[in-house]
Amino acid sequence: MTGTPPTMKVVVDETACLGTGQCAMIAPAVFEQRDDGVTVARDTEPPQSRRAAVREAAQACPVAAIRLSEGSEPSTPAAFGYDDLPALIARMTGDERHAFSSSSTKDVLWVLYDRVLNVSPDRTDDDDRDRFFNSKGAGPMAQYAVLTAKGFIRPEQLDDWGTWDSPLGYVPDRVTVPGVDLSSGSLGHGVPIAVGVALAWRIQRRLGPRVFVLIGDGEFDEGSNHEAMVLAGRMGLDRIVVVVVDNGTASHGWPGGIEQRFAREGWATDVCDGENHDEIFTALTRDHPGKPLVVVATVTR
Ligand code: SF4
């Protein structure tokens, strides 16, 4: 694949389109409205010169009806392992690296994508796949590196991350990055959104997919997490697994008290060494019938 331009594929979900026409105004060469108001993609594989406008249109769509996949060809399937992550992370340079956030989450992310999540680069639109929400989206280098190792992102895309025309922003974007299920960066949203997803699945009687959420212990200070935690526990939303990477940087609450607070609200709980892959795997895959599961993964950095 080296030297081969990446592809962009555009799909409009016609059942979701509200017919606002915003996308056709932003990228008229790619989107057009039919007589019934629904928008379709007239160019499903736009050239490089049109892609910035297409990404802008996708971000402007109020119902996220425009789905993009870029460079999702598994150009290097299984070419990278855990030991390659530092080199992949090092390809991302600049002032917005949030290196500590990356190093504290690297092991949990690896175990999730390597051994736990039911996802793959060729199934990013499969409704029955697991979902992963990186709620602490500021500092996505470890997630981008793991997604690269697993074939969702091409390694050369890491080199210009955060630039104007790159799909890889300083916070992850579900519209432009294959394998990203939540556009995040504003803290405290992952668990509440997971509650909404799990409720929707319950209404639809869909028992297959699970939604995993990564938050930080500092992020757990955000009050929205607590409202969502209480509701998920009370409603027994057992399709939810939250992993809290705890490096002792929370400002509120009692140190070491995260597990007990979830347990008090009816969650199944576990605690593991956040750098021990077997412990992380065992904790994330334990049975938790009728209850959501929280795993507190302690790390030292
Ligand atoms: S912006 Fe979204 S909802 Fe509006 S016409 Fe385009 S696809 Fe449809």
pLDDT in tens, 278-287: 999 999 999 9
The domain made up of 8-70 is a member of CATH 3.40.50.2300: no
| One-letter amino acid for residue 283 of the chain | A
- Distance (angstroms) between ligand 1 centre and the Cα of 3 equals 34
Measure 128 CA to ligand 1 centroid, in angstroms: 24
Residue 173 or residue 228, greater confidence: 228
The ligand 1 atom at the shortest distance from the C-alpha of residue 24 is 6
Confidence of residue 300 (pLDDT cuts 50, 70, 90): confident
The string of pLDDT tens digits covering residues 139-182 is 789 999 999 999 999 999 999 898 888 889 888 988 889 999 99
pLDDT tens-digit readout, 230-277: 999 999 999 999 999 998 877 787 788 899 999 999 999 999 999 999
Element (H, E) at 148: helix 141-149
* Euclidean distance between CA atoms 301 and 274, whole angstroms: 10
Sketch the domain layout of the chain as residue ranges: 8-70, 76-301
- Span 12-36, pLDDT tens digits: 888 888 999 999 999 999 999 998 8
Fold of 76-301: Rossmann fold (3.40.50)
39 lines ligand 1 (CB under 6 A): yes
**Cα–Cα distance for residue pair 122/246, rounded to 1 Å:** 33
Mutate to test the pocket of ligand 1, among 12, 61, 68 (most ligand atoms within 8 A of CB): 61
Q: Please state, rounded to an integer, the average pLDDT across all residues of the chain.
A: 88
Q: Which two tokens stand for residue 252?
A: 């509120």
Look at residue 97 in the predicted model and tell me its pLDDT. 62
- Rounded CA-CA distance 245/273 in Å is 10
Residues 89-106 have a mean pLDDT of 79
First and final CA of the chain: distance in angstroms?
A: 36
Residue bearing the bigger pLDDT, 290 or 162: 290
| pLDDT (0 to 100) of residue 3 | 41
State residue 51's pLDDT score: 84
- pLDDT tens for 41-93 read 999 988 878 888 888 888 888 888 888 776 544 444 457 899 999 999 999 98
